[in-house]
């Protein structure tokens, strides 16, 4: 394992110290493992809190700021945060108008956020929870823990964050986040595995010339191992899986071509170009594209494509000003 770290046990704390030093707009508490806006709480505003395992940066702490999240609680690498962390973040950002918890659908996250929601309610905080489950690689939710939460998290955090910034109430903010999730599908492809620092060994192995279709953002296996192929074919496989689940023809789309951490931007743009052509060929329009590493899996190579059948209201909220470490425009 060759990593730019000090010690495996210190990875998250050391990264939080660096995040704090680089971004005075954030208030980072290394002890409680919470990241909130420097000016939090904002009275009267619905507060958005998200969190999950670390290793997916800039998700979630990098999306804390005007127009997006109010707080984030990063767990250990690929390990959900504890209920105490979630409650600490909720308490720090609660402005009296309720807290929306945005939770990716993994068993650990669901359980810890569920306990946290109960504890926060005990403290008199009104809480709503939105579960993100957009990964079409998981086909049969009867025999699994259900679809995993991936790129739709970014869409939901941006769009619901913009609505909260406009002063909407908790129910409306939660509703738009749920609608975004319901209209988003994602599919990931891994070209190489990643190594959790505490484990020291890759989470899976790929033979030479092999790729994993439908990989999750922790290196969980997806649908199948396949032979490496040109970018256009890999992108077509991902978009075909999405299109079969949620037809895209004739739709206005929000499209994220997301680098998984180890794939350079030049390859991400190759993938985006292929995606745009594939979608145009199906009569779908990319209304808003986003290309870059936003929901990563440590140093895993690969891309994940997320597609949202956006409504005009969603596009309006997507375009609204945002000012966070990782996303900023319009302000």
Partner 1 sequence: MNTAEWIRLAAERIAADAAHLSRLDAAIGDGDHGHNLERGFAAAVAALPEGDAPPGKVLLAAGRAIVAKTGGASGPLYGTALRRAGKALGDTPDLDAAGLGAVLQAALEGVRELGQAGEGDKTMVDALAPAVAAYEEALAAGGDLAACAAAAAEAADQGAQATVPMQARKGRASYLGPRSTGHLDPGAASTALLLRALADVA
Point out the residues that are catalytic. Answer: 56, 218
The residue range among 174-182, 215-223, 242-250, 259-267 that interacts with partner 1, by the rule CB under 8 A, is 215-223
Is the CB of 106 or the CB of 318 nearer to partner 1? Answer: 106
Q: How many residues bind partner 1 (CB under 8 A)?
A: 36
Site membership for partner 1, residue 79 (CB under 8 A): yes
Residue 181 C-beta: closest distance to partner 1, Å: 19
**Residue 60 engages partner 1 in binding (rule: CB under 8 A):** no
CB closer to partner 1, 82 vs 251: 82
Q: Token pair for residue 169?
A: 């109430």
Applying the rule CB under 8 A, the residues between 89 and 118 that interact with partner 1 are 106-108, 111-112, 114-115
Rounded to the nearest whole angstrom, what is the least distance from the CB of residue 58 to partner 1 in the complex?
Answer: 20
Question: What are phi and psi for residue 36, nearest 5 degrees?
Answer: -130, 165
Beta bridge partners of 69: 64
Largest separation between any pair of C-alpha atoms in the chain: 55
CB proximity list for 196: less than 8 A, separation 6 or greater: 55, 77, 78, 203, 298
Binding to partner 1 by residue 251, rule CB under 8 A?
no
Smallest distance, partner 1 to C-beta of residue 179, A: 26
Cα 64 to Cα 68: distance, rounded to the nearest angstrom:
6
Compute the least distance from the CB of residue 305 to partner 1, in Å: 18
Q: Are 211 and 304 in contact (CB under 8 A)?
A: no
Site for partner 1 in 134-173 (CB under 8 A): 137-138, 140, 143-145, 148
Closest to partner 1 by CB, 191 or 194: 194
Which ranges constitute the DSSP H helices of the chain? Answer: 11-22, 83-93, 107-122, 152-165, 170-182, 231-245, 265-281, 312-319
Binds partner 1 by CB under 8 A, chosen from 62, 149, 151, 216:
216
Q: Among 26, 46, 47, 76, which residue interacts with partner 1 (rule: CB under 8 A)?
A: 76
* DSSP symbols for 173-217: HHHHHHHHHHTEEEEEEESS--B-TTT-SBSS---TTEEEET--T
Minimum Å gap between C-beta 163 and partner 1 is 30
**Given candidates 15, 19, 71, 80, which one binds partner 1 under the rule CB under 8 A?**
80
If DSSP codes are grouped into helix, strand and coil, which group holds residue 143?
coil
Distance of alpha carbon 294 from alpha carbon 58, whole angstroms? 6
For partner 1, give the closer residue by CB, 46 or 295: 295
Q: Does 31 bind partner 1 (CB under 8 A)?
A: no
| 192 part of the interface to partner 1, by CB under 8 A | no
Q: How far apart are CA 128 and CA 243, in angstroms?
A: 30
Spatial CA neighbour of 88 closest among 49, 127, 43, 55: 49
Distances (CA, A) of 118 to 106, 114, 126: 18, 7, 10
Q: Answer yes or no whether residue 83 interacts with partner 1 by CB under 8 A.
A: yes
The verdict on 66 binding partner 1 (CB under 8 A) reads no
Please tell me the number of Cα atoms within 13 Å of 282 on its side-chain side: 21
The residues of the shown chain that bind partner 1, judged by CB under 8 A, are: 53, 75-84, 106-108, 111-112, 114-115, 137-138, 140, 143-145, 148, 196, 198-199, 201, 203, 216, 218-222
């Amino acid at each position: 394992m060759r990593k730019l770290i000090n010690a495996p046990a210190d990875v998250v704390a050391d990264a939080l110290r660096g995040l704090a030093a680089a971004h005075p707009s954030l208030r980072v508490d290394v002890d409680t493992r919470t990241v909130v806006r420097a000016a939090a709480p904002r009275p009267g505003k619905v507060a958005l809190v998200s969190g999950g395992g670390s290793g997916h940066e800039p998700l979630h702490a990098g999306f804390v700021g005007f127009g997006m999240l109010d707080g984030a609680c990063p767990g250990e690498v690929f390990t959900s945060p504890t209920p105490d962390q979630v409650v600490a973040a909720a308490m720090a950002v609660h402005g009296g108008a309720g807290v929306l918890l945005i939770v990716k659908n993994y068993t650990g996250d669901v359980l810890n956020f569920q306990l946290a929601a109960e504890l926060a309610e005990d403290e008199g905080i009104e809480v709503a929870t939105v579960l993100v489950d957009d990964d079409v690689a998981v086909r049969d939710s009867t025999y699994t823990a259900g679809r995993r939460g991936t790129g739709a998290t970014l869409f939901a955090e941006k769009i619901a964050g913009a609505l909260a910034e406009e002063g909407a109430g908790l129910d409306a903010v939660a509703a738009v986040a749920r609608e975004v999730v319901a209209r988003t599908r994602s599919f990931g492809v891994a070209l190489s595995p990643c190594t959790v620092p505490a484990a020291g060994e890759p989470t899976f192995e790929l033979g030479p010339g092999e790729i994993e279709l439908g990989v999750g953002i922790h290196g969980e296996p997806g649908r199948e191992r396949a032979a490496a192929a040109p970018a256009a074919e890999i992108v077509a496989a991902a978009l075909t899986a999405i299109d079969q689940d949620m037809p895209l023809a004739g739709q206005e789309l929000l499209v994220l071509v997301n680098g998984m951490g180890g794939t350079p931007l030049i390859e991400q743009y190759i993938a985006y170009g292929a995606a745009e052509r594939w979608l145009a060929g199906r009569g779908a329009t990319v209304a808003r594209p986003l290309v870059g590493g936003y929901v990563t899996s440590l140093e895993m190579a690969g891309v994940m494509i997320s597609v949202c059948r956006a409504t005009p209201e969603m596009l309006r909220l997507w375009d609204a000003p945002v000012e966070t470490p990782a996303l900023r425009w319009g302000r």
